[in-house]
Amino acid sequence: MSTGIRLLVGGDVAGFEYKEAILADLKDDPRVASVEDLGVPADDKESETYGSVGIRAAEAIRDGKADRAILVCGTGIGVAIAANKVPGIRATVGHDSFSVERSILSNDCQVLTMGQRVVGLQLARRLASEWIGYTFDPSSPSKDKVAVISAYEGC
């Protein structure tokens, strides 16, 4: 089990309700050291698109201000595309338990994304909690596979 994760939770207007639910769930999770709400805020849900939320989250991780992020938009796709534009960041949509597990154990993803228009709320909450519980093993054979991507990016 991982401990002390500095977590970001964010999304666009289409992911607002799930973002709020996941934020509330993980705020008091003992595996999480801190949770920051990246928005969008309740009083200005149209303030940002999925692109800027995804990039902001990824840049914060790249800059060492957080360890991981969970991002929600309508499909999870837009925030994943945006976060993946930041070199060194590996983001993926995850809507099932196996993919969520492998996103850490195989891919060492720092960002999990989900779609509020795709999966039910209870599944999204459960997947978020499961994801927090996985830790990448740097001695596993997956390390060298992830390193191929990092080398391409120069990270």
Ligand X SMILES: O=C(CO)[C@H](O)COP(=O)(O)O
Catalytic residue numbers, as ranges: 73
One-letter amino acid at 150 equals S
Six-digit token string for 11: 């999304």
Quote the CA–CA distance of 80 and 111 in Å, as a whole number.
Answer: 8
**Which two tokens mark 128?**
């978020």
- Rg for the chain (alpha carbons), in Å? 14
Interface segment toward ligand X; rule CB under 6 A; list 23-31, 40-48, 68-76, 99-107: 68-76
* Site membership for ligand X, residue 77 (CB under 6 A): yes
Kindly state the number of chain residues that form the binding site for ligand X, as judged by CB under 6 A.
8
H/E element holding 5? strand 5-11
7 versus 73: smaller Cβ distance to ligand X: 73
32 versus 115: smaller Cβ distance to ligand X: 115
Stretch that binds ligand X, among 53-61, 73-81, 93-101, 134-142 (CB under 6 A): 73-81
